[in-house]
């Protein structure tokens, strides 16, 4: 045991080094052309130009009469927005009735609003030269650059882009994140019985991922054990060293052997897999899974994938939820009439959980074939060195390159960052919830920001309150800002989110700190 701890201590990176390495490990995602609605939240890969002038022609800014020359004017026609323009130029002494936004006829000198006009087939009134006509390009000239590369596609930017004639925007896509929550003792609803604990990490990750600029695309529960983790993670990488029998754990339960699938042999080793390596066309097992899901019986035609019959992205998103059996379903499956027993999970529960290793994998495979891919996988728990902590071993089996293995930080010491063959990053968070948050702020947030090409804002502050520095490790201390400096809120034990929930930021207290200003890292407070 001493040896294990010693090795861990030697390998642990300093907190600033781990954060920097995480940011550097994240390659900005290549630009993609996305329809406006899907580009929301992404950053523009290049400048946004006006494809058309705004307004596109000389138009009326008021409902009234476009007039030429001196009053009174003879009304010679009517133009409505969206209707046909008036065919001729106006001669002095002529007017056309006109709607706001409709093109004014050539020769129009101004628009007389209805409220200022008198008369019927002839109108009279006082005008100001050029008034109430919006000239072509007056708001935005055709070809003008209205926003620079890197601007976030907010809802307003989407509206502006539409007004400028864009249907598709070239953006840095939002990184997709899959979450795997491990732990036989972890329950995701209700009151945890003896020996069980409510999942406190799964519920904070979607909001944190969103806030950091990522998009959660799947969320799955896994039982403890190397095999389910291997099965689920292998969806992201062709395993170079397949386990002897990765299905052994799952299929050893009666009646649960997965149906054999044609063409499920692993990708040959040696060929450097790319993100495109996960396209169904190149991955026979993925093709098979997609076929299975789309209800196809016969082999797909050339030029796979057949999109018809496949569930849309939104439907796929539901699969992990469907894969997680609701409480009622568990009760029925285990033959119980009365409410489920409190306490440790039954064999039946565990069997269902084991199914989820496969479910999660199938869902992930289907998703990666859907065109999105998954850039980051977050594994909660299993990152330490106990008998149920298999992440390190499974990453080794999958040929992952481990970038960070332990960080000299309290809490959150046992955190991991690795790159799977094919490029997907894996972030391992400790099981203790505050430790998981601290680790997510150290590795996951910089990774997601880096993938979006977003810079890092740095804030520093004095600490107004007693804080004890750690001898060797950085401490992350939940604080509230105040005029006097950042005030520690307490309640910061690794197993509890109480302090972090009270706080606005985490103060980064370096080892041996002696009272100087400290960095604050912003927490997603939603304010």
Interacting residues toward ligand MOO by CB under 6 A: 410-414, 430, 432, 435, 494
Among ligand LQZAQKY5, ligand MOO, none, what does residue 280 contact (CB within 5–8 Å per kind)? none
266: Cβ–Cβ under 8 A, 6 or more apart, which residues?
Answer: 238, 239, 242
The single residue listed with the structure tokens 């307004």 is 55
Q: Which does 433 bind (CB under 5 to 8 A by kind): ligand MOO, ligand LQZAQKY5, none?
A: ligand LQZAQKY5
166 contacts ligand LQZAQKY5 (rule: CB under 6 A)? no
What's 217-266 look like in SS3?
EEEEEECCCHHHHHHHHHHHCCCCCCCCCCCHHHHCCCCCCCCCCCCCCC
Q: How far is the CB of 429 from ligand LQZAQKY5 (least distance, A)?
A: 7
Q: Is 89 exposed, middle or buried (0-12, 13-18, 19+ CB in 10 A)?
A: exposed
From the CB of residue 371, how many other CB atoms can be counted at a distance below 10 Å?
Answer: 12
Nearer to ligand LQZAQKY5, 417 or 435 (CB): 435
By beta-carbon proximity to ligand MOO, the closer residue of 358 and 410 is: 410
Position among 345, 357, 381, 421 found at the interface with ligand LQZAQKY5 (CB under 6 A): 381
Residues sharing a CB contact under 8 Å with residue 301, sequence separation 6 or more, in sequence order: none
* 186 touches ligand LQZAQKY5 by CB under 6 A: yes
Q: How many CA atoms are closer than 13 Å to the CA of 62, on its beta-carbon side?
A: 17
Q: State which H helix or E strand residue 521 sits in.
A: strand 518-522
CB atoms within 10 A of CB 117: 21
Taking the CB of residue 380, how many other CB atoms lie within 10 A of it? 28
Q: Does 432 contact ligand LQZAQKY5 by CB under 6 A?
A: yes
Q: Which stretch binds ligand LQZAQKY5 (CB under 6 A): 90-98, 269-277, 331-339, 385-393?
A: 385-393
301 close to 291: Cβ distance less than 8 angstroms: no
Structure letter (DSSP) for residue 440: I
- Residue 8 binds what, of ligand LQZAQKY5, ligand MOO, none (CB under 5 to 8 Å, by partner type)? ligand LQZAQKY5
Q: How far is the CB of 192 from ligand LQZAQKY5 (least distance, A)?
A: 9
Q: Does 11 bind ligand LQZAQKY5 (CB under 6 A)?
A: no
> Residue 388 CB, nearest distance to ligand LQZAQKY5 (Å)?
6
Query: How many residues are listed for the chain in this entry?
Result: 527
Partner that binds at residue 199, options ligand LQZAQKY5, ligand MOO, none, CB closer than 5 to 8 Å by kind: ligand LQZAQKY5
Tell whether residue 384 is a contact of ligand LQZAQKY5 (CB under 6 A). Answer: yes
Q: Does 413 bind ligand LQZAQKY5 (CB under 6 A)?
A: yes
Map residue 88 onto helix, strand or coil: coil
Is residue 201 close enough to count as binding ligand LQZAQKY5 by CB under 6 A? yes
- Asked if 181 interacts with ligand LQZAQKY5 (CB under 6 A), we say yes
């Amino acid at each position: 045991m001493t040896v294990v701890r010693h090795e861990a201590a030697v390998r642990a990176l300093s907190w600033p080094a781990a954060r920097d390495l995480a940011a550097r490990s994240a390659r900005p995602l290549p630009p993609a052309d996305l329809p406006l609605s899907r580009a929301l939240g992404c950053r523009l890969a290049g400048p946004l130009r006006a494809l058309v002038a705004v307004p596109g022609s000389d138009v009326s800014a008021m409902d009234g009469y476009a007039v030429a020359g001196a009053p009174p004017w003879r009304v010679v026609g009517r133009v409505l927005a969206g209707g046909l323009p008036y065919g001729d130029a106006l001669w002095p002494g002529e007017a056309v009735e006109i709607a706001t936004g409709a093109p004014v006829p050539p020769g129009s000198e101004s628009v007389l609003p209805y409220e200022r006009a008198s008369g019927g087939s002839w109108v009279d009134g006082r005008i100001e030269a050029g008034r109430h006509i919006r000239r072509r390009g007056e708001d935005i000239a055709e070809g003008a650059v209205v926003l620079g590369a890197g601007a976030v596609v907010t809802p307003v930017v989407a509206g502006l882009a539409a007004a400028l004639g864009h249907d598709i925007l070239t953006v840095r896509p939002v990184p997709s994140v899959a979450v795997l929550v491990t732990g036989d003792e972890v329950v995701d609803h209700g009151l945890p019985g003896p020996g069980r604990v409510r999942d406190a990490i799964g519920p904070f990750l979607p909001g944190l991922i969103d806030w950091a600029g990522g998009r959660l695309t799947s969320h799955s529960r896994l039982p403890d054990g190397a095999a389910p983790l291997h099965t689920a993670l292998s969806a992201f990488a062709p395993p170079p060293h397949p386990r002897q029998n990765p299905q052994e754990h799952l299929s050893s339960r009666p009646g649960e052997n997965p149906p054999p699938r044609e063409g499920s042999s692993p990708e040959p080793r040696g060929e450097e897999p790319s993100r495109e390596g996960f396209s169904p066309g190149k991955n026979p097992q993925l093709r098979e899974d997609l076929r299975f899901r789309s209800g196809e019986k016969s082999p797909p035609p050339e030029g796979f994938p057949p999109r018809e019959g496949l569930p849309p992205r939104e439907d796929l998103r539901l699969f992990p939820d469907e894969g997680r059996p609701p409480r009622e379903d568990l009760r029925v499956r285990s033959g119980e009439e009365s409410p489920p027993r409190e306490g440790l999970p039954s064999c039946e529960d565990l069997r269902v959980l084991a199914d989820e290793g496969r479910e999660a994998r199938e869902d992930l495979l289907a998703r990666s074939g859907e065109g999105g891919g998954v850039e980051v996988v977050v594994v909660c728990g299993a990152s330490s060195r106990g008998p149920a902590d298999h992440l390190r071993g499974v990453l080794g089996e999958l040929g992952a390159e481990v970038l960070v293995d332990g960080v000299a930080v309290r809490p959150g010491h046992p955190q991991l960052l690795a790159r799977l063959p094919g490029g997907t990053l894996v972030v391992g968070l400790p099981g203790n919830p505050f430790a998981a948050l601290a680790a997510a702020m150290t590795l996951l947030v910089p990774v997601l920001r880096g993938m979006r090409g977003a810079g890092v804002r740095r804030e520093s502050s004095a600490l107004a309150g007693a804080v004890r520095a750690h001898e060797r490790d950085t401490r992350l201390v939940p604080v509230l800002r105040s005029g006097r400096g950042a005030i520690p809120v307490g309640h910061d034990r690794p197993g509890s989110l109480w302090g972090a929930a009270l706080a606005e930021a985490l103060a980064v207290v370096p080892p041996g700190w002696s009272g100087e200003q400290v960095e604050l890292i912003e927490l997603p407070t939603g304010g």
